[in-house]
Chain A
Amino acid sequence: MRHLPILRQGRPYYSADRARAIHHRTKEPFVEISQANTGLIRRDFLQKEAVANRLSGFSSEELIRLCAAAAGHFADATLPLGEGEQSPQDYVEATSATTGLPYNMVRRNQAKIQGVLANMAGVLRGLTRNLDLSILDRGHGEASGTVVSYFRRTDSLGVVLPSNSPGVHSLWAPAFALKTPLVLKPGGQEPWTPYRMIQSLIRAGAPPEAFSYYPTDHAGAGEILRRCGRGMVFGDVSTTRVWARDPRIEVHGPGWSKVVIGDDMADRWPEFIDVMAASIAENSGRSCVNASGVWTPRHGRAIAEALAAKLAAIQPRAASDPEAAIAPFADPTVAHRMNQMIDGLLAEPGAIDLSGAAGRGPRLAEQDGCSYLLPTIVWCDSPSHPAANKEFLFPYASVVEAPTSAMPGILGPTLVCTAITEDRGLQQRLLAAPHIGRLNFGPIKTIQIVWDQPHEGNLFEHLYARRAFQALPEFATA
């Protein structure tokens, strides 16, 4: 069986404690993953300053070049994997095995990460609002005619990662180019992508000690976030709640992303069905940027029926099938529990799962040893129905009728809001809403991300702060 080691500042370490991830179909153990004990993590942190200094020795330009080279390695190279190697196809198959994602979705995520690494200069331009990156090398400089100085707030960025979809790893990648050592805790079912990204960067010439990779338990994850000056945590509400008020930690919880249709566009709804369906179902509904709600002032039932009919065509297929559009759950008990939870929500009058009648069949499908939850469109007669603003790890969306006058307040926290409206008043209210993370005007899929437009916090602002600075010319030689 393959065995993924810990990386202690780039150095592989095989732990005596190991966890196993199973193959989603065979249920057989697929990989052993070395587990880091909390003390080991703490001990390595004693070296963090030296590691940060090592990375500071690289210029931003050099780091961007390394990322570009790493992009190619990530996509095409056979890279070290523990005591063996991993080809790009091995990566796709392994990620599919433990997460359930079909090969085509793993490849799309792979391309997304490759794109971010290859285009790191553009990503950093977006994050820094076009700052001359040599200012980060020198510590000070001139931007738009003003003297500026930036300093790094932390010796390392700790990231507690999820298992839902590999694309999420593109969010932490810019930290390396921003000279910040990474301390990663991979998800239990998706250890592959961060390991491969690290190997790609090392192959490109990055200093190995800039990367720590600690598969660990809940206590170890907490230790990483407490020890790093800055952190990111991904997970559900219960996982992330404890960090919600810690300004050092950027919390990436559920997205509750939505498509909102204005009064002016509601009668034209059939034109936007494809955008709504793709927002709900692409990437098997596993991303926080997938829409879990469609909010409209009228025609709600008709929209829900049309979406249900369109998505009913999505049925289980083999992981290797290029047409596969839905991922099974790696742990079937999760699918069963989630299905029961949805039945519980629908037991309250006022909401109906329209997908069954539209030809989907039962929501919970078992095929070839895999458990799937098939696309589910729920029509709710009120925004206050308990099924109305829920998010699950599969294509699930509620369609809700609500007056636009009540928007955006009634929407609640919304990571991505695609607003299909030309109503200036509604647009202005949406622009002013602090609980919307990313706003699209027009029929843009919620999952369509432009990497120079960060959401859920700006990584540059998370890692760097600006200080007041003055220097007499003869002293400003750095």
Chain B
Amino acid sequence: MSSQLQQRVRTHKEALDAHVREIVAWHFDPSTGCPFWLDFAARAGWDPRREITRYEDLDRFGFFEDEWLRGGPVRQWVPKGLAHLPTYIFETGGSTGVPKARIQMNDFRTDYEQFSHTLPAEAFPQGADWLMVGPSGPRRLRLAVEHLAQYRGGICFMVDLDPRWVVKLIKWGEFEMAERYKQHVVDQALTLLKAHDNIQCMFTTPKLLEALCEKVNLRKLGIKGIFCGGTEMTPQFHRFAVEELLDGIYFAPTYGNTLMGLATHKAPAPEDDWAIIYYPPAPRAVLEVVDPAEPTRLVPYGGTGRVRLTTLTKETFIPRFLERDECEREAPCEQYPWDGVRNVRPFAKLGSNVVVGVY
């Protein structure tokens, strides 16, 4: 790492520590914090505002538990300081059972506006219309992608896919029906693409992108940029999409979820061998790669471990959440002077019962 980059990493870390102090002060102030965290502090017997002074101190909270986000009361997460704003509830992806949920007011807009600045203007032209083909419904993607389009001066067309239905079809062994449902989604997308000349940008999932490209050449239909995410993407999918599906269309793979926001990808380089490298939207969210057996310990750069998320916005405070993903730890780079993640994939030790990547 160059000395210049080392200096930028240090500067970023100082900013992150300051951001942590600001966010903790907000969430644990009785006039602005949410009932969940105020109650937590009351029972913990220590005042986070006094004792959390830097990012590492967040370890004191222990691990944020998945179950806390399932079920109600959902208003326990609404910060008093933001209670006057319209509140959205967004649910996590394609799993069944009681979904995890996160309340938001403006975070999705902020995240996608930040992301918008990473998109090249020639591939995602100002004023171009968008087509969103993927999971909408209770998910953040629906409003987020639409906001992204609007932020860039466009109008967003929508085709929905319900991943929970797809998961059920697959669990039942109804592969034929799952395929027909996918074709139903693809057919709707193609109808819109053919009917509206100004659609030049798309959001879709890896599987739907493949299915669309089996039917048409998207570039010939006027698409210039594709923002792709929602499920796991492997290096081979990355290569396959660029070399065989897209015919020169700009490809922006992303890693995101309702709890974190949106991680942007590092521009592909030959030495990366098609690895997909993401950097989180720091300081609003931090991704770390930890030893699965000892999740307070980071693995070395290049090492494999479990993804640990910390979300730090005024709307949401989620310290030390262990994701259901694993990956390699990526060093800071010029564009992003903080840790990134490489080749995110389902966490192998969680077993094979998780149905992923079906849409």
Q: Which chain A residues have a beta carbon within 8 Å of chain B's beta carbons?
A: 15-17, 35-40, 42-43, 46, 219, 222, 226, 242
Within 8 Å of chain A (Cβ to Cβ): is B210?
yes
Q: What distance in Å separates the Cβ of B23 from its nearest Cβ neighbour in chain A?
A: 38
Contact A39 B237 (CB under 8 A): yes
List the one stretch of B6-14, B87-95, B239-247 in contact with chain A: B239-247
Within 8 Å of chain A (Cβ to Cβ): is B214?
yes
Could you tell me the distance between the alpha carbons of A15 and B274 in the complex, rounded to whole angstroms? Answer: 10
Q: What distance in Å separates the Cβ of A354 from its nearest Cβ neighbour in chain B?
A: 37
Interface centre among B236, B237, B241, B274 (most CB of A within 10 A): B236
Q: What distance in Å separates the Cβ of A210 from its nearest Cβ neighbour in chain B?
A: 22
Contact with A along B233-261 (1 / 0, CB 8 A): 01111111100110000000000000000
Contact (A37, B240) CB under 8 Å given A16-B235, A42-B210: yes
9 CB < 8 A contacts A-B = A15-B236, A15-B239, A16-B236, A16-B273, A38-B207, A39-B245, A42-B214, A43-B214, A226-B179
Closest chain A residue, CB of each to CB of B176:
A226
**B contacts with A: majority SS:** helix
Could you tell me the distance between the alpha carbons of A46 and B210 in the complex, rounded to whole angstroms? Answer: 13
Q: What distance in Å separates the Cβ of A14 from its nearest Cβ neighbour in chain B?
A: 10
Could you tell me the distance between the alpha carbons of A15 and B213 in the complex, rounded to whole angstroms? Answer: 20
Could you tell me the distance between the alpha carbons of A40 and B209 in the complex, rounded to whole angstroms? Answer: 12
Q: What distance in Å separates the Cβ of A47 from its nearest Cβ neighbour in chain B?
A: 12
Cβ-defined partner of A16 (8 Å) among B210, B214, B238? B238
Q: Which residues of A contact B245 (CB under 8 A)?
A: 39
Q: Which residues of A contact B236 (CB under 8 A)?
A: 15-17, 35-37, 40
Q: What distance in Å separates the Cβ of B288 from its nearest Cβ neighbour in chain A?
A: 25
**A contacts with B: majority SS:** helix
Could you tell me the distance between the alpha carbons of A208 and B291 in the complex, rounded to whole angstroms? Answer: 46
Contact A37 B357 (CB under 8 A): no
Could you tell me the distance between the alpha carbons of A43 and B239 in the complex, rounded to whole angstroms? Answer: 14
Could you tell me the distance between the alpha carbons of A16 and B342 in the complex, rounded to whole angstroms? Answer: 14
Q: Which residues of B contact A42 (CB under 8 A)?
A: 210, 214
Cβ-defined partner of A242 (8 Å) among B173, B210, B275? B173
Q: Which residues of B contact A46 (CB under 8 A)?
A: 214
Contact B234 A37 (CB under 8 A): yes
Contact B210 A38 (CB under 8 A): yes
Within 8 Å of chain A (Cβ to Cβ): is B301?
no
Number of interface residues of B (CB under 8 A): 23
Apart from A39-B206, A40-B236, 7 more pairs, CB < 8 Å: A17-B234, A36-B236, A37-B237, A39-B241, A43-B213, A43-B244, A226-B179
Q: Which of B175-234 contact A (CB under 8 A)?
A: 175-176, 179, 206-207, 210, 213-214, 234
Could you tell me the distance between the alpha carbons of A75 and B279 in the complex, rounded to whole angstroms? Answer: 52
Closest chain B residue, CB of each to CB of A223:
B175
Contact with A along B72-86 (1 / 0, CB 8 A): 000000000000000
Q: Which residues of B contact A16 (CB under 8 A)?
A: 234-236, 238-239, 273-275
Closest chain A residue, CB of each to CB of B241:
A39
Q: Which residues of B contact A222 (CB under 8 A)?
A: 175
Q: Which residues of A contact B241 (CB under 8 A)?
A: 39
Closest chain B residue, CB of each to CB of A40:
B240
Q: What distance in Å separates the Cβ of A49 from its nearest Cβ neighbour in chain B?
A: 15
Could you tell me the distance between the alpha carbons of A466 and B273 in the complex, rounded to whole angstroms? Answer: 51
Could you tell me the distance between the alpha carbons of A222 and B176 in the complex, rounded to whole angstroms? Answer: 11
Interface centre among B234, B241, B245 (most CB of A within 10 A): B234
Closest chain B residue, CB of each to CB of A45:
B214
Closest chain A residue, CB of each to CB of B274:
A16
Could you tell me the distance between the alpha carbons of A139 and B225 in the complex, rounded to whole angstroms? Answer: 50
Closest chain A residue, CB of each to CB of B179:
A226
Could you tell me the distance between the alpha carbons of A42 and B210 in the complex, rounded to whole angstroms? Answer: 9
Q: Which residues of B contact A37 (CB under 8 A)?
A: 234, 236-237, 240
Could you tell me the distance between the alpha carbons of A250 and B213 in the complex, rounded to whole angstroms? Answer: 31
Contact A17 B214 (CB under 8 A): no
Q: What distance in Å separates the Cβ of A353 from its nearest Cβ neighbour in chain B?
A: 31
Q: Which residues of A contact B238 (CB under 8 A)?
A: 16
Cβ-defined partner of B240 (8 Å) among A39, A219, A242? A39
Q: What distance in Å separates the Cβ of A60 from its nearest Cβ neighbour in chain B?
A: 34
Q: Which residues of B contact A226 (CB under 8 A)?
A: 175-176, 179
Could you tell me the distance between the alpha carbons of A16 and B239 in the complex, rounded to whole angstroms? Answer: 7
Q: Which residues of B contact A15 (CB under 8 A)?
A: 236, 239
Closest chain A residue, CB of each to CB of B173:
A242
Q: Which residues of A contact B176 (CB under 8 A)?
A: 226
Contact A39 B173 (CB under 8 A): no
Q: What distance in Å separates the Cβ of A283 from its nearest Cβ neighbour in chain B?
A: 30
Q: What distance in Å separates the Cβ of B347 from its nearest Cβ neighbour in chain A?
A: 16
Q: Which residues of A contact B173 (CB under 8 A)?
A: 242
Could you tell me the distance between the alpha carbons of A286 and B27 in the complex, rounded to whole angstroms? Answer: 62
Could you tell me the distance between the alpha carbons of A151 and B176 in the complex, rounded to whole angstroms? Answer: 25
Contact B210 A39 (CB under 8 A): yes
9 closest A-B pairs by beta carbon, nearest first, are A39-B210, A17-B236, A16-B235, A16-B274, A16-B236, A16-B239, A37-B236, A15-B236, A17-B234
Q: Which residues of A contact B275 (CB under 8 A)?
A: 16
Could you tell me the distance between the alpha carbons of A35 and B179 in the complex, rounded to whole angstroms? Answer: 23
Could you tell me the distance between the alpha carbons of A82 and B325 in the complex, rounded to whole angstroms? Answer: 32
Could you tell me the distance between the alpha carbons of A15 and B244 in the complex, rounded to whole angstroms? Answer: 13
Could you tell me the distance between the alpha carbons of A38 and B245 in the complex, rounded to whole angstroms? Answer: 13
Closest chain A residue, CB of each to CB of B210:
A39
Could you tell me the distance between the alpha carbons of A151 and B210 in the complex, rounded to whole angstroms? Answer: 32
